[in-house]
Amino acid sequence: MADAPAVARTSAAVRAALDGPLRAGRSIGLVPTMGALHEGHLSLVRAARAGTDVVVVSIFVNPLQFGPGEDLDAYPRTFDADLAALTGEGVDLVFAPEATAYTPADARTTVHVVGLTDGLEAASRPTHFDGVTTIVTKLFSTVRPHRAYFGEKDFQQQAVIRRMARDLDLGVEVITRPVVRDPDGLALSSRNTYLSPDERRDALALSAALAAAQRGWAGDADATRADLLGTLGSAPGVRLDYAEVIDPETLEPLEGVHDGPAQAVVAAHVGDTRLIDTAPLQPASTDRA
């Protein structure tokens, strides 16, 4: 039976554990998580395992990325189950710092990405991305990974982090992996545990609308946006926050007919739970053979 991965609780312990592999020229892969691990996270761990020599998973419910009134206290914390889920997955180290030590009350430094963090998620969560970029910069400094793995579901987040890593020359390749879904289409999320059975059924409207957008995509951003807004605006139990068709790099809304890459992104409340989902829209082409 496989052993559970080693756990480091402090920056010093992480650095000490990774100094040897780094000197030996081994590549480090980091999967940053807030715990409550599901198959989406495990798909990132497996990608890291395939792509790097040493796999580090951070488990840290980052208080900086929660706004006032959000679900910081309620956010699921399932450390023992997380360790069990990672056992046998070839994880070399779990970094699980204490919040009081890793985000001390007297810290004063923030990292901000201008522009990419104005709309979409940021419209509802104005301080969210500064919390993300600040802590991810810190995690990258502590762990010194060569590659870091993020889920596409948090589409804006991965775009912001990709930009930050480039702008600050962090030396980290940001790798984004596709959304992992339950068989009925629901995007996996640690917040799905908040959903009642009825809410879970209502929530399927998001992935269904995105799947329809993918099937129907003919390069017309306005038409696809209107379809998403129409479908999700009237879906039972769904209170739509936004539905957009965006440029995957700049995150700017696309207008009219477009022959480059595009991404559909949606956010909605189902009951008290805020869910997001996304789907790439293939470039329009007359020849898909």
169 lines the binding site for a second copy (CB under 8 A): yes
Taking each helix axis from N to C end, the angle separating 128-143 and 11-23, rounded to the nearest 10 degrees, works out to: 50
| Residue 113 found at the interface with a second copy (CB under 8 A) | yes
Does 105 interact with a second copy (rule: CB under 8 A)?
no
Among 4, 7, 111, 284, binds a second copy (CB under 8 A): 111
Nearer to a second copy, 234 or 250 (CB): 250
38, 41, 112, 258: the active-site residue: 41
Is 269 considered catalytic here? no
Contacts of 282 (CB under 8 A, 6+ apart): 214, 217, 288
Q: Is there binding between residue 181 and a second copy (CB under 8 A)?
A: no
User: What's the CA gap between 277 and 266, in Å, rounded?
Assistant: 5
**Closest to 138 measured CA to CA, from 72, 48, 65, 68:** 65
Residue 134 engages a second copy in binding (rule: CB under 8 A) = yes
Of 111 and 229, the one with the shorter C-beta distance to a second copy is 111
Q: Residue 48: exposed, middle, or buried by beta-carbon count in 10 A (0-12, 13-18, 19+)?
A: buried
78 binds a second copy (CB under 8 A): no
Residue identified by tokens 């600050």 is 168
Stretch that binds a second copy, among 39-47, 50-58, 136-144, 148-156 (CB under 8 A): 136-144
List the one residue out of 66, 70, 219, 192 whose CA is nearest residue 132. 66
CB of 168 to a second copy, least distance (A): 5
Cα-flanking dihedrals φ and ψ of residue 225, to 5°? -60, -45
Give me the residues that bind a second copy (CB under 8 A), please: 11, 15, 22-25, 107-116, 133-134, 137-138, 141-142, 144, 163-164, 167-171
Residues carrying an active site annotation: 41
